[in-house]
Structure 1
Amino acid sequence: MQVAKPVGRNAPALKYDIISALAVHALSEDKHRQRSILRILTLITTRYNWRTNELSIGREEIARLWSVNERTVKREMARFRGQGWITVKRPAARGRVAVYELDLKQMMLDTSAIWPVIGSDFRARMDHQPEPVTNVVPFKVSTNANLPDGEDIWGQVQSVLHGRDPELWASWFQHLVEADRAGGVATLMAPSRFMADYIAQKWTGRVLAAYARFDPSIRSVRIEASE
């Protein structure tokens, strides 16, 4: 499934589709999950920049929108990062609020069970999203090399990452090795400092979301360089 960037002529329809999927998914869950998804929907509809995929907002403002305290905001945002729905693009600093990115594709994948409830036309649209238009020539890589057999947890995590985005997996995730998994932390080794830093900055949330499917005790992922 591809989720096209919600800009251009079809942007309004795609935005409604994403919001509809989240709302119907929420209504199929228990009251705690409903409230959690309502909170992310609130951030999307009030502060999210669809064009740049940026959510620029401070913890104090989130607390005001959600009618909660900042402690609850910290806990809920950590939960969204664990699901792979939100990543920190730029951390907060003095005089500057944090900037987050939303992973719309992960959100839609996590709501896919309710697509038929919305309607067959909705499911057809989601299953046949067009490839994003770009003038960048993709770097071709083999997407089947060294795919783990999925027998252990790390192998299953790798299989999920591969299934979601084979080219991204082949470029980055397949080079990771699980060094340790204890105390709620999974430690992964990358072959270079550059790769470790880049994956840690861009994709930790996605890796953590994949872990959550098989080992919910994992609450954070640490990526280190083996060199």
Structure 2
Amino acid sequence: MQVIRPVGREAAAKKYDILSAMMAHAMARDQNMQRLVLRLMSLITTRYNWQRNELTMGQREIARLWCVDERTVKRDMARLKAMEWVVVKRQGARGRVSVLGLDLDRVMLDTRPAWPNIGEDYVARVGGGEPVRDHADQTVVPFRRPDPVAGQGLWGRAQAMLAAEDRPLYDAWIACLTDGGVHEGCQILIAPSRFHATYLRTHILARLRTAVLRTDPTVTAVRIDTI
């Protein structure tokens, strides 16, 4: 998937595309998700620094904007962090609030099923049918592999999720991983080579961890070993 980068001459249009994706995703979900996404969008449109990918705002200020108490702010921000839409860039210290950021890759992946609700022109514009270019080495030729079978254990279900999110990336880098089992809350994956394992750890580990965590919330880590 081609990831939108809100920079350059078309930055304003790209920002609207990201917000449109979030809106469509919320409208296709229940009222709890709608409220959560609306609250996040209020932070983005009022305080988010797109260029630096930074949101610096205290819980008291957020509570005032959302018209809720600080306990609700803590709960909803925890949900957004668990979704990995919001990430902590710098933890707050005494007298300073935390600096947060947005994982736009994660946002666009999660909202992708709702893009057709906006229109075919939107899907074409944001790259819904484009091959992945941000992660896969251009010298790698991905061969189509059989679809993963959902339900064959934790890793099998996570594979199905990853393949649905970004099939070219899955074919090139993830399909060859084998299940090493779960040990003390960590999913172990076996890569075919040291190079492959290093690349995955550097570029794709967060995405693997998210898929595993969403499949089984008790498994919070992923480790990549080699044969």
Using structure 1 for the length normalisation, give the TM-score. 0.70
SS at match of 2:39: helix
Partner secondary structure for residue 68 of structure 2: coil
The 5 A counterparts of 1:1-227 are 1-127=1-127, 151-158=152-159, 160-161=161-162, 164=166, 166=169, 170=173, 179-180=182-183, 186-188=185-187, 206-207=207-208, 209-211=210-212, 213-215=214-216, 218=217, 221-222=220-221
**Offset at 1:7?**
1.0
TM-score by length of 2: 0.70
The 2-side partners of 1:203 and 1:89 are apart by: 18
Letter in 2 for 1:180: H
Q: Note the alpha carbon deviations across 1:168-187, whole angstroms, 9 max, x for none.
A: x959xx69965336xxxx33
Q: CA RMSD in A?
A: 4.2
Residue identity over aligned pairs, in percent, reads 41
Unaligned runs of 5+ in 2: 191-196
Which structure's relative contact order is higher, taking Cα pairs within 8 Å and 6+ residues apart? Answer: 1
- Between the aligned partners of 1:155 and 1:33, the Cα distance in structure 2 is 27
Q: CA, structure 1 residues 16+139, in 2 after alignment: closer, same or farther (shift >3 Å)?
A: same
SS at 2:100 equivalent: strand
2:115 and 2:224 mapped to 1: Cα distance? 41
- Deviations along 1:154-202, whole A, 9 cap, x unmatched? 24325645764849x959xx69965336xxxx334699xxx9xxx7xx9
Inter-CA distance 13–225: structure 2 relative to 1 (3 Å threshold) = closer
Deviation (angstroms), 1:24:
2.4
Kindly tell me: are residues 26 and 159 of structure 1, through their superposed partners in 2, closer, same or farther at Cα, counting changes over 3 Å?
closer
Segments ≥4 residues shifted beyond 6 Å: 129-134, 138-144, 223-226
Unpaired runs of 5+ in structure 1?
Answer: none
Query: Would you say the 8 A contact 1:63–1:69 is kept in 2?
Result: yes
